[in-house]
Structure formats: C-alpha cells, structure tokens
Structure 1
Amino acid sequence: MSIGQQLSFFAITFLLLIFFSITGFAHSEAEIRAGFSCVDITPPIGTPMTGFGAHFRDRSGVKGIHDPLEARAIFLEQGTTRTLIMGMDLCFLNRKEADRMKGAIGRKLNLLPRDILLNCSHNHTGPMCSDWFYLPPAPYYMDFLEESLVKAAVEASHSLEPVSIQAGETTTKLPVNRRLPNPESGQIDFAPNPQGSIYPYLPFVVFNNSAGKPLCILFSVSAHPSNIKGVDRSFYISADYPGVAVRLLDKHIGRKGALFLQGAAGCAKCSVVPGRDKFPSGTYEEVETAGKMVADEVCAALDGKLQPVEPSLLNCSVELSFPLLPPLKAEDYRKVIEQPDTHAESMPEVKRVWAEDMLSCLNGGFSLSTTVPMTAQGIRLGKGFRIVAIEAEIVDAHGHQIRNSYPDGITMPLGYSNGCQMYLPTSAMLPEGGYEVESYWEYHKPAPLAPGIESILADGISHLMKEGIQ
C-alpha cells in the first residue's frame, strides 16, 4: 500500500470514527433509561409510632403488623443527567432527616440534592421519623431506614434499561375537604365538608420497557392516609390506602412497579364513607375500598389515550422563605405554659413543651425565627410532563396554583417532599383558623405564617420555569 493509500485509509477511518462517535453520542443523549426497585421498611415491634395523638400518649410503640411498609424508587438516566424519585410509606421526614437520607444516597451514587426526590405518603400508621411533637424517632430505626433507602437507590440505578414515557391525567373521587365552617362558633371544625375545595386531579406517568410493558407507573393522589385512627388497631403498622393501591396496580401490570407520591393533601381526607358529620375511626375494609378506588381510576385512565413524552430530563430546586407573624413576648409564652389551650385535634401537654422551648431560647439571649425556609424542587421528565414538589403539607389551592401555572402538558404537584416544614395554608385560611393554621407550634415554629403565601410560591414556580421546568 502506497503512502497515499495509507493516508486515505487513515483519513476515511478517522472520519468514520467521528461519524459513529457523533451519531452514537446523539443516540445516548436522546435515550432515557430507567430502573425500579422496592425495599421493605417495616419497623419492628415496639418502635415509636406517629400520626395520631394516641401514639404520643402511649409510647409503647408498634404492637403488630397488618401490612408492610415499603420504599419504592425509580432511577432515571439520560446522558449525564440522573434523577432518583422515591416514595415511602411514612408520615414525613423533617429537614434534618431528609438531608441525612439524601446525603447518604448522594454520596453513594454521586447525586446532588436536587437530583433526589424523597416523597412521603403521609401515612399515619407508621414509625416516628422526625421530631414532630418534640419526640425523637428511634435511632435504630433511622439507621435502618438510611440503609434501606440507599439499598433501594443503588438497586434501581443498577437495573437500568431503555424506556419510553407516556403520561396522563384523570380525576379521583377519593379526597374530601376536612375544613367545615361552623356558623355557631365562627370556627373551622375538623370535619367532612363535601362542598369544600379539593385537588381532584390524578396525574400519572408510565415508563414502558423495550417490550412495551410497564416498568413503572408513577401516580399521585391528594388525600390524607389517616383512616385508621385512635383505636387499638392504629398501633398496627399499615401503609393505608396507598399500600392497597400499589398492590392492586402491581397485580394489574404483572410486576412490582407502581409508585405512589402524595400530592396537595393538606386539608383533605378520604371520602370512602359519605354522609357522616365527623371522621370515624376507620376499618381496614374502608382502607381497602379507598385503595381500590384509586387503583381502578388509574387502570381506567391507562385504557384511554395517553400523551407521549419526549424525554428531556432536568432537575433543579430553589429555596423559598415564608415570613412568620411576630412571635409572642416572653410573658405570653409563660401564660401558655400555665394554660396551654390548643385546637381540638392537638395536645395541650405538647404545646406546653413548645412554649418552654421558645422561652428557653429567649432567656438564652437568642432571637426566634422570623421566616420558614422551604425547598421547591422541579423535575422535568420531558416536554409536557413535570413534577413540582414542596417541602410542606400543601393544601389543594397550592396544587391548583402549581397546575395552573403551566398552560399545557401535565403537572404533578407534590407536598411532603424532601422534608416537611409545616402546614402551608392559604392566606385566606389564616384569619379563619383551623388545624392547618393553628398547628404551627407542633412543627416547632414560634408563630403562624404571615399573609402573602401565594406570591412567594409563585416566585418559586417562576424560578423553576426559568431553570427549564417547562
């Protein structure tokens, strides 16, 4: 072969390498891969529980297991962008514990906090996982939880395969408003209000493998899983209606792959028993009814026309700051210590501890907080589908605000994500009162939120949009 032929050969080879490099790179950038995993996070007998006042009055903890608790995860990868979405059958994490879990996962998989979404179902028959009500979780359970969540994340990341994405949105009949105006007292009662506002939308997304079979169905409902209340069975571990829904959807798709995320459930409970003037201590039959209702609604929507989602993975987050009203003076906290009046759904003895905590801070020469930080996280799966998750118990109006901020496509608004700072009521609710407004002290906050909540949330959504959550 002559020198000229050799040069031509090398030139052609070089050009072919460039061509295949470019086309191969473009393919890998366009392709999205996903992996799913599920781990058991059921606590042992005796573990402290959370969700109802009875769990704090009786600290003997878990008495039995009705059905297991799980953490379910989907890991997504497109080019250099990676995202972990995890749903857990837990009440909520506080910021400290959420940061701990995200830190452990991030160190293992080289993920940033914005790349990890941790959502709690807000299950009320599970283990204590935060210092809500001034009582700490069991250290042994939090160690176990950290190990389990890391395991779920790693397993999902090690089982990646190419997927296509379809999305849809239907409505659910499960939520019922729990803020009932009482014309006699002028107060807001904690009771069913069928005429009250809810977030009725049920957004979902399906990840299909190369055979066209569902690898994962990600779905969200906005209703409290707090059906088993105040009776002996509330000391038995259960995932409530989300556990039933994922079990039935797993059966529908023929594999473990359903993943529930809690939405804008702040002032909504389950409507499985209509016509009552107060929320009953539910039964497991009612829990089964609620879960089946949701699963049936998802299955019916799966049979309809779904929207293809062209993958374009993006993660971002922004820190929001919500002002509080001025706190009490020291002498007023002393009055609370002497007579800790509370909302009917709360506990006076815990409010006394709160007032003592605030007074100790002032006596030590420290200032009380004037704002509450909350993270807003955005995840774009592709054109036409996005998730917006807030670090709070958001109410239905915030779900509507998030959804209405996007003119097209499907939006999944979430609360109880990456921690839970407190209830986030609307500005209109503040003068009305009610549990969602008056429970600020349960979350160790010195005062209620100030008006202007919606404009701060709007600024956060606008920031996410500018970052690319479209």
Structure 2
Amino acid sequence: MIQVGAAVQPLGITSPVPMSGFAARTEPSTAEHDVLGARALAMDQILLISLDVCALEESTCRAIAEGVRPEAPEQVIVTATHTHAGPCSAPTRLTRCTPEIEQQLIDAATTAGRAAREARQACGVELRVARGVGVAANRRHADRRVDPPVQMLRFTAAGRTSRTDDPAAPSDAATGAREVATLVTYPCHPVVLDGTNRLLSGDYVHPLRERLEAEHPGTVAVFATGCAGDLNTGHRAEASYSLQRSATRTFDEAERVGIRIADAALAGDGRTVTADRVERASAPVTLQIDSPGPEQVAADSASWTRGLAGAEPGQATLLGIWLDWARSLPEGTDWTGRVSAFRLGEVTVVTLPGEPFLAVAEQIDSKIDGPCLVLGYADGCPGYFPTAGEYPYGGYEVEDAHRYYGMPGPFVAGSAEILIQKAVEVCRALG
C-alpha cells in the first residue's frame, strides 16, 4: 500500500473577470455556473495538483510547488484542466491575468496541496481502463477515427469493519474499503461550451467529477486532461474565432459528455496494482522556436490590416490580437520546461507541458512497459506540440496559436518528438 490523501480548495475567483481560452471573447464573465477549484492528490511524497483553468505558466507552477513543499518543490506537479470557460490565469499568455488573480490561484493550490498531504493514509490501488468512449474526435482530420482510452486510478483505504451505515465514510460491504480518491485522465479539449458562454465553468470536467464522487461519496475526483492538442468533441479549432452561438455546445451537452466519460471509467476493465511506494523522476527539456523574421511579420501585419475591413466581429478581434502581437513581438529562440514521470507498481504516469497531440501519448505508451497514463498541460503551457507529420497540414495549432499564447513563434517541427524521447528517458530513469 501507499500513502494517499486528497483535497479540494475553491479558487475563490468570482465574476466579473476576464475569461481565457477563446481569443474572440473579450467580455468578462457574468456569473459562476460551477465552483472552480484546485484539487490535490498526494501519493507518498509526490503531489499532483489540478486547477480549473485554461493554462498556467511555468513561474506560477513553481510558486505553487515552492508554497506546498519548499523543501522539495520538485516533488510537486501542477496541471491545468484546460477548461475554456475558466478565468484568465496566465500573466503573459492567452488572456492575461492580474497579479492578484495569479496569487489567488497560487493560494488555492497551495492550500489544497498541504491539506492533501496531511490527509494521507494507507491505500490500495486499482487501475481501470475503457475504450469505445465515443467522445473525442480529431478536430484537424475529420476522416481519422480516434479511440483514446479513459484511464482511472482508484485509491482505496481499508476499513476497520464492513459496516456501511455511516454516510460520512461509505465503504464496500464485503471489505470495509473506502475510496479516498480517483485520478482520471482522458484526452479531449474541454471546449464543449462555445465562445459565447460567459459563465465560469469546468466544462465537461465538472459533471465528470460529480458523477464519480456521487458513485463513491466522500471521495475526491482529480481530473487531468491527456494529450488533447488535436482532439475535441468534433469541431474545428477555427470555430473558436466565431462569436456565433452553437446549438450543440451547451451545458446540457457538457453534462452528457462528462457523464459518458465518467461512466466509461467506472465500467472499465479493472486490475489491482501492487505498489508499496511511488518513484519519481524528471528532467528539463529545451525546445527551439521558429520565430518569423521582420519581413514576414511586416507582410503578415499588412495582410491582417487589410482583413479587418469587412471582418465579422470575432474575426476582427482575432486579427487585432495578431496585430498587437506583431507590434510587441516577443523575444526568444527557445523555451525550457520539464518532463516528469512517477511510477506506482507497474503503472507509469507521465506528465508533459503544453498541448501535445494524441500521437505523442500513443508513442510514449508504445515505448513503456506496463500501463501508462500520459497527462498534458503540466508545469507550464507554452502552446501546441504537433507531431512532425502534422506540420505540412498547417492550421491553427501549427501556424497561428503562438500569437494568442504570446510566444515568439511556433515550436519547430520535431519538438514533439523531443518530448517523446525525453519522456522515455525519464521513465527509464525510474528503473
């Protein structure tokens, strides 16, 4: 058994506040549909914290790690669920947040992390995996069918008796076991809600967690989005430029999607994981940026300026963001982040920065012995990581997203493959 604890702390951010995820949406939130939070899962000395925001910068993640464990910040991994219905959460990327909002995020995550560590108790581990979920779709290639798995780790504390009449500590009638926490991952953009939504929400992630927690009252469900850079529920990324309301991207649909994923996880094939400790390794990774030259920037700026004439409001807002990016062109030719992995028995969990494409997770999984969960959006999100074969197709993720992210340019082709190689090296360092 390993020592496991979990906790939830509300972010405490209320409307009106600028929202992040859709460049064309410039008006602030009007109210809260869900209570957004920081959810922490402590596994021995490792701590995984997931926040209900679109993206976090590396400096914010470091501040959280140092706040929770100043003596060993490297043991803390911080992720964003990547909801596009969350508040602004990055000081220099996407829709910028204020120092006050960033501090609220740090405080909430730090509080949750400390509480999770204090709540640790001996737990057994079970892995459940299911395919055929029928939710994620390749948003760049409609003709390419994908079937990524939903994966769930269940952490269960042994009960002293088999009694089940205590509602504060529900248990399994046969064993007296009580579920303490679950870690669930699925690769699909939390963008069921469209850019016209102005209610703060976790998108489909919120009803997913509610469903899991209703199944085992008292448990804490922690969701970490997988490698979803090219996956959503079936619309092009460019649809985010529009401010036209979609009849199919609603809260009812977000609830349907979340419950479907949760039910698939609950019904998945289960296996007991034998683990008496959690091992961790990490390594820095430096990736090159393909910064456009001044002539290219000038030519693009002229084209965007011409495009403003007659552009519909959402497209005009986007072009304005691109022009602002060109006027204050960010500097830099590379970016450094970190890749981490931890292992519970035969199960390996890999955490990657940014928005990797699904093929990144698939290639890592093919090179690792035993079950492997690959999480994205971890310890910083500087943009997309398409695999090299996607660059000839262009598109938002390859050519345009870096401007909204406030980066000097897109990552060069081959960057995703470097992430894959680094992840495999880190996993092998675990032994």
Common topology (TM > 0.5):
yes
- State the partner residue of 1:40: 10
Whether the aligned pair in 2 keeps the contact of 1:224 and 1:266 (CA below 8 Å) is yes
- State the partner residue of 1:339: 303
Moved more, 279-288 or 146-155: 279-288
**Which of 236, 247, 250 lines up with 1:283 in the alignment?**
250
Whether the aligned pair in 2 keeps the contact of 1:85 and 1:117 (CA below 8 Å) is yes
Whether the aligned pair in 2 keeps the contact of 1:179 and 1:267 (CA below 8 Å) is yes
Whether the aligned pair in 1 keeps the contact of 2:21 and 2:94 (CA below 8 Å) is no
Give the Å deviation of 1:288.
0.8
Q: Which amino acid aligns with 1:37?
A: A
Structure 2 counterparts to residues 21-420 of structure 1, below 5 A = 31-55=1-25, 57-58=26-27, 61-77=28-44, 82-107=45-70, 110-113=71-74, 115-131=75-91, 135-171=95-131, 172-180=133-141, 193=142, 195-198=143-146, 200-211=148-159, 212-231=177-196, 234-270=197-233, 280=246, 282-301=249-268, 304-325=269-290, 327-340=291-304, 347-358=318-329, 368-382=331-345, 384-407=346-369, 409-420=370-381
Give the Å deviation of 1:237.
0.9
Q: Which amino acid aligns with 1:352?
A: L
Instruction: Pick closer, same or farther for the CA change 1:45–1:164 going to 2, 3 Å.
Output: same
Structure 2 CA distance, aligned partners of 1:168 and 1:134?
Answer: 35
Give the Å deviation of 1:53.
2.6
Structure 1 CA distance, aligned partners of 2:279 and 2:383?
Answer: 27
Structure 2 CA distance, aligned partners of 1:372 and 1:133?
Answer: 14
The yes-or-no answer on 1:433 pairing with 2:394 is yes
Q: Secondary structure at the match of 2:297?
A: helix
- Count the aligned residue pairs: 397
Instruction: Pick closer, same or farther for the CA change 1:135–1:222 going to 2, 3 Å.
Output: closer
Instruction: Pick closer, same or farther for the CA change 1:355–1:316 going to 2, 3 Å.
Output: same
Structure 1 CA distance, aligned partners of 2:80 and 2:129?
Answer: 21
Instruction: Pick closer, same or farther for the CA change 1:440–1:248 going to 2, 3 Å.
Output: same
Moved more, 165-174 or 368-377: 368-377
When the two structures are superposed, what TM-score results if normalisation uses the length of structure 2? Answer: 0.86
Give the Å deviation of 1:91.
0.6
Give the Å deviation of 1:440.
2.1
- State the partner residue of 2:169: none
1:128-168 CA deviation, whole Å, 9 max, x = no partner? 00146564203222222211111111111111211111212
Q: Which runs of 5+ in 1 are unaligned?
A: 1-30, 181-192, 362-367
Give the Å deviation of 1:207.
0.7
Q: Which amino acid aligns with 2:224?
A: L
- State the partner residue of 1:26: none
Give the Å deviation of 1:357.
1.8
Structure 1 CA distance, aligned partners of 2:409 and 2:253?
Answer: 37
Give the Å deviation of 1:344.
6.7
- State the partner residue of 2:162: none
Structure 2 CA distance, aligned partners of 1:262 and 1:357?
Answer: 32
Q: What RMSD, in angstroms, separates the aligned Cα atoms of the two structures?
A: 2.5
Instruction: Pick closer, same or farther for the CA change 1:76–1:229 going to 2, 3 Å.
Output: same
Structure 1 CA distance, aligned partners of 2:80 and 2:316?
Answer: 22
Amino-acid identity (%) = 21
- State the partner residue of 1:423: 384
1:327-358 CA deviation, whole Å, 9 max, x = no partner? 33324323334433799798111111211222
Structure 2 CA distance, aligned partners of 1:199 and 1:449?
Answer: 27
When the two structures are superposed, what TM-score results if normalisation uses the length of structure 1? Answer: 0.79
Q: Which amino acid aligns with 2:407?
A: K
Q: Secondary structure at the match of 1:38?
A: strand
Give the Å deviation of 1:54.
3.9
Structure 1 CA distance, aligned partners of 2:212 and 2:357?
Answer: 26
Give the Å deviation of 1:197.
4.8
Structure 2 CA distance, aligned partners of 1:431 and 1:36?
Answer: 44
Instruction: Pick closer, same or farther for the CA change 1:374–1:346 going to 2, 3 Å.
Output: farther
